């Protein structure tokens, strides 16, 4: 059987899964509502419910494990509350202490920079507090790890909570001009991650 691969723009408010895992999840929105996906489809990594952007899907479990276990870069654009300081950016880049699974975790060094202009992203379904209510800053964060809600925890740890989080790149696959909820079939994904 030939494997199938997709890249999607995961909308805000969706879980990165295809089946409901019981009553606790209630009426949560799932990825299967975006398209008619083939049997055995899985997301490669996840984005939490309040995060959006690039998500890769595949029917190839081996490829999914390879991408998840390797140190491929993931780039996020984060809109943070406040005029983030150079010191806070440096702290994040050097690694900060966050909570993970009930323990303290020191994030690995990463690349963090302030964006000079707001990125051209589609409007989110849920309104975001804007600059009329005080300063906000867009930053780029490039990680090779991906703990649960890591970018949000990192910006909070330095005093600038995340208002919007969009993953724009995984290794050399970019979000490009995908619209929210858009799904594109990819001919091959393996050659991107050799």
Cα 26 to chain center, whole Å?
A: 23
48 among known catalytic residues: yes
Q: Cα separation of 14 and 125, whole Å?
A: 11
Q: Which of 132, 186, 144 is nearest to 8 (CA)?
A: 186
Report the C-alpha gap between 49 and 12 in whole angstroms: 6
Q: Which residues pair with 112 in a beta bridge?
A: 141
Catalytic member of 48, 81, 86, 176 = 48
- Cα separation, 143 vs 71, in Å, equals 9
- d(CA 45, CA 68) in angstroms, rounded, equals 6
Buried b (16+ CB within 10 A) or exposed e, 77-101: bbbbbeebeeebbebbbeebebeee
Active site residues: 48
């Amino acid at each position: 059987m030939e494997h199938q691969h997709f890249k999607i723009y995961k909308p805000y408010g969706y879980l990165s899964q295809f089946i409901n895992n019981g009553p606790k999840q209630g009426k949560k929105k799932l990825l299967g509502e975006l398209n008619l996906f083939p049997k055995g489809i899985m997301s490669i990594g996840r984005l939490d419910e309040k995060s959006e952007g690039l998500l890769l899907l595949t029917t190839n479990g081996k490829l999914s494990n390879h991408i998840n276990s390797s140190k491929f870069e993931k780039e996020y654009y984060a809109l943070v509350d406040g005029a983030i300081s150079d010191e806070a950016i440096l702290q994040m880049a050097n690694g900060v202490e966050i909570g993970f699974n009930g323990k303290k975790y020191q994030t690995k060094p990463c690349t963090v920079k302030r964006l000079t202009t707001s990125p051209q992203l589609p409007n989110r379904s849920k309104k975001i507090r804007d600059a009329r209510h005080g300063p906000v800053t867009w930053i780029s964060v490039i990680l090779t790890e991906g703990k649960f809600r890591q970018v949000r925890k990192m910006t909070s740890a330095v005093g600038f909570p995340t208002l919007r989080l969009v993953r724009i790149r995984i290794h050399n696959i970019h979000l490009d001009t995908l619209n929210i909820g858009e799904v594109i079939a990819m001919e091959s994904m393996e050659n991107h991650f050799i």
